[in-house]
């Protein structure tokens, strides 16, 4: 039977005459100094949630208290067990020819109480070992200081809604710079404050799950921006001259396109309330929150008979303190939404304040996530919006990826949907760089291995390597997409679709041949 399948595959390839758009059949080349990498996050892959002195995080606490929040009632207690298998993960980063590995440090693994009263030596050692393993394999570490797993001890003080947490973050950043800064040259302070601040809005079951929409997310964002600025200034004043690294922040954004010609203002408000909320204070010439955001929240607050705006107000000193505090703009992007005039969301909430109804087109190609449609042209549009809004800022794509819910074929996932996604998005990014002049200097795929995907748990898979979560050994197996991206990282060339078709057929034949020899 397997020989028959091989014969069919070979004949199908030999007789196929695909119709390719001329622009898709062109080989695209990135400069030799362009960086390629892969990303992960501590809570999603490490496991070992209470081993070796690690403290409890807000995600540990929430999902132990409310297992029903996740799709399959699972959590990140074990995840992909990278705490014990980090050498295996570094090995596959190297196999993919990547220049860097973006990973996050678990704040409660380093500081179980959230402050400097207790420094966990075992946690410090773990990240030293990981960084040393990366460097020994010629891979640059890119460290995210905070990727959503706040120490629960600090949440008991109010978490990110308490502006004093910004000074706790400064102390944490100081310890990281002091401990790892001679080996780490790329630092990201916060990952997606737009997302983790939703955990204070009651709109989503994101940790810590605080129900204060229209207030909590704004308090969180205010503190997060101060925390980021504290870390940046600390590095600038104390560590940069000796360590010679770079410090940035990662912000995530959809692209918002008007649903009709009459919805252009709604689309602009949507992006200002999502991306501009955090990008404007850091990257704009004037600083502060976007004007439309300040005006709308203040007006809605007045209608609600409040004495002050629900959006906190920065002093001029704070505006100046936050403005310009990034050496690069980290961007996470996955998909595009429609925006149209109208209101949705709780009253009050940031969603309602924005005055835009967000939808997608059901005809757009789907993924394993209901929110992620394959819309590559929006990637180029978003990059140009950032350049137009904030000038020639240096951008690194810190996440871009595709989910599915597929099964394996002989241990190797034939994830053609993910390969197509990467190919199309890389082509749009290439146009933004080499046609439009946007200063993108690196690209990071999300994610290295299948992991705990927050409330979708282990059902949605973004990994370039398959993890068998039903096997105690948690085996990592290469997917087709890992081979595809690994070749791009090595050659700095996105192949034409014709070349890609040949490679796909060869890979399929090799897998079927292996099944024939080892049934």
pLDDT digits (tens, 9 = 90+) for 272-322: 999 999 999 999 999 999 999 999 999 999 999 999 999 999 999 999 999
Look at residue 205 and tell me if it is in a domain.
Answer: yes
- pLDDT number for residue 7: 31
Residue 436 CB neighbour total at 10 angstroms: 13
13 with 103, same domain: the answer is no
DSSP class of 55: P
Contact 230, 173 (CB under 8 A): yes
| Tally of domains within the chain | 2
- pLDDT number for residue 16: 35
415 with 515, same domain: the answer is no
How is residue 187 written in tokens?
Answer: 């630092």
- pLDDT (tens digit, 9 = 90+) per residue, 203-244? 667 999 999 999 999 999 999 999 999 999 999 999 999 999
Q: Give the CA-trace dihedral at 262, 263, 264, 267, to 10 degrees.
A: 180
329 with 430, same domain: the answer is yes
Please say if the pLDDT value at position 183 is more than 50.
yes
Look at residue 22 and tell me if it is in a domain.
Answer: no
- pLDDT number for residue 269: 98
- pLDDT (tens digit, 9 = 90+) per residue, 92-125? 999 999 999 999 999 999 999 999 999 999 999 9
How many residues in the chain?
519
Look at residue 420 and tell me if it is in a domain.
Answer: yes
511 with 487, same domain: the answer is no
Share of the chain above pLDDT 70, in %: 89
- pLDDT number for residue 205: 77
User: At 44, which CATH number?
Assistant: 3.20.20.80
Contact 105, 176 (CB under 8 A): yes
What CA–CA distance (Å, rounded) separates 119 from 108?
A: 10
3 with 59, same domain: the answer is no
Look at residue 47 and tell me if it is in a domain.
Answer: yes
Look at residue 499 and tell me if it is in a domain.
Answer: no
Lowest-pLDDT range of 191-195, 230-234, 513-517: 513-517
Look at residue 118 and tell me if it is in a domain.
Answer: yes
Antiparallel, parallel or unpaired: β 140-146 and 246-252 = unpaired
- pLDDT (tens digit, 9 = 90+) per residue, 36-48? 999 999 999 999 9
What CA–CA distance (Å, rounded) separates 164 from 166?
A: 5
Please say if the pLDDT value at position 66 is more than 60.
yes
- pLDDT number for residue 379: 99
- pLDDT number for residue 475: 94
7 with 70, same domain: the answer is no
Q: Give the CA-trace dihedral at 333, 336, 341, 344, to 10 degrees.
A: -70
Phi, psi of 367 (to 5 degrees): -135, -165
143 with 41, same domain: the answer is yes
286 with 364, same domain: the answer is yes
- pLDDT (tens digit, 9 = 90+) per residue, 325-381? 999 999 999 999 999 999 999 999 999 999 999 999 999 999 999 999 999 999 999
- pLDDT number for residue 505: 54
Active site residues: 399
Residue 65 CB neighbour total at 10 angstroms: 10
Q: Which helix (H) or strand (E) holds 321?
A: helix 316-322
Comparing C-alpha atoms, which of 197, 236, 239, 249 is closest to residue 218? 197
251 with 171, same domain: the answer is yes
Look at residue 142 and tell me if it is in a domain.
Answer: yes
Q: Residue holding tokens 């850091």?
A: 282
337 with 202, same domain: the answer is yes
pLDDT confidence band for 262 (50 / 70 / 90): very high
Contact 12, 5 (CB under 8 A): no
Please name every residue paired with 100 in a beta bridge, in sequence order, or none if there are none.
37, 140
How is residue 351 written in tokens?
Answer: 């969603």
Lowest-pLDDT range of 4-18, 360-374, 480-494: 4-18
Look at residue 93 and tell me if it is in a domain.
Answer: yes
101 with 10, same domain: the answer is no
What CA–CA distance (Å, rounded) separates 428 from 375?
A: 10
CA angle, residues 297, 358, 303, in degrees to nearest 5: 25
123 with 48, same domain: the answer is yes
Where in the sequence is the domain holding 7, given as residue range(s)?
1-17+506-519
């Amino acid at each position: 039977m397997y020989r028959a399948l091989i014969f069919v595959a070979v004949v199908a390839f030999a007789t196929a005459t695909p119709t390719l758009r001329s622009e898709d059949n062109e080989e695209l080349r990135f400069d030799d100094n362009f960086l390629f990498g892969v990303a992960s996050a501590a809570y999603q892959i490490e496991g070992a949630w209470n081993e070796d002195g690690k403290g409890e995080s807000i995600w540990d606490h929430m999902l132990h208290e409310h297992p029903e929040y996740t799709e399959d009632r699972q959590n990140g207690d074990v995840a992909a067990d990278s705490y014990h298998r980090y050498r295996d993960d570094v090995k596959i980063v190297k196999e993919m020819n990547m220049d860097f590995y973006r990973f996050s440090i678990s704040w409660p693994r380093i500081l179980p109480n959230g402050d400097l009263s207790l420094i966990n030596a075992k946690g410090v050692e773990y990240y030293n070992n990981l960084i040393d393993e990366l460097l020994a394999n010629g891979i640059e570490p890119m460290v995210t200081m905070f990727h959503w797993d706040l120490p629960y001890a600090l949440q008991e003080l109010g978490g990110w809604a308490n502006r004093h947490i910004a000074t706790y973050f400064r102390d944490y950043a100081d310890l990281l710079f002091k401990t790892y800064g001679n080996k780490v040259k790329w630092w990201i302070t916060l990952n997606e404050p737009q997302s983790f601040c939703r955990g204070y809005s009651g709109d989503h079951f994101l940790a810590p799950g605080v129900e204060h929409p229209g207030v909590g997310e704004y308090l969180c964002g205010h503190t997060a921006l101060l925390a980021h600025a504290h870390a940046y200034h600390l590095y600038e004043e104390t560590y940069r001259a000796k360590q010679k690294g770079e410090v940035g922040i990662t912000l995530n954004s959809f692209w918002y396109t008007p649903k009709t010609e009459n919805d252009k203002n709604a689309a602009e408000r949507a992006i200002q309330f999502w991306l501009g909320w955090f990008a404007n204070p850091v990257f704009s010439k004037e600083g502060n929150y976007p004007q439309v955001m300040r005006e709308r929240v203040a007006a809605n607050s007045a209608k609600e008979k409040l004495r002050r705006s629900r959006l906190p107000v920065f002093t001029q000193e704070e505006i100046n303190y936050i403005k310009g505090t990034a050496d690069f703009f980290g961007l996470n992007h996955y998909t595009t939404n429609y925006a149209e005039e109208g209101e949705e969301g709780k009253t009050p909430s940031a969603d309602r304040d924005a005055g835009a109804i967000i939808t997608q087109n059901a005809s757009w190609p789907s993924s394993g996530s209901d929110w992620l449609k394959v819309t590559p042209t929006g990637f180029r549009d978003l990059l140009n919006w950032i350049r137009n809004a904030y000038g020639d800022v240096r951008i690194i794509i810190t996440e871009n990826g595709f989910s599915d819910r597929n099964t394996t074929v002989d241990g190797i996932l034939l994830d053609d949907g993910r390969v197509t996604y990467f190919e199309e998005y890389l082509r749009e990014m290439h146009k933004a760089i080499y046609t439009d002049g946007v200063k993108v200097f690196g690209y990071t795929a999300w994610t290295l291995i299948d992991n705990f995907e927050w409330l979708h748990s282990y059902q949605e898979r973004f990994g370039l390597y398959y993890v068998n979560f039903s096997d105690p050994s948690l085996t990592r197996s290469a997917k087709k997409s890992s081979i595809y991206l690994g070749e791009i990282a090595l050659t700095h060339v996105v192949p034409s679709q014709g070349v890609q078709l040949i490679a796909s057929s060869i890979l399929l034949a090799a897998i079927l041949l292996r099944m024939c020899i080892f049934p």
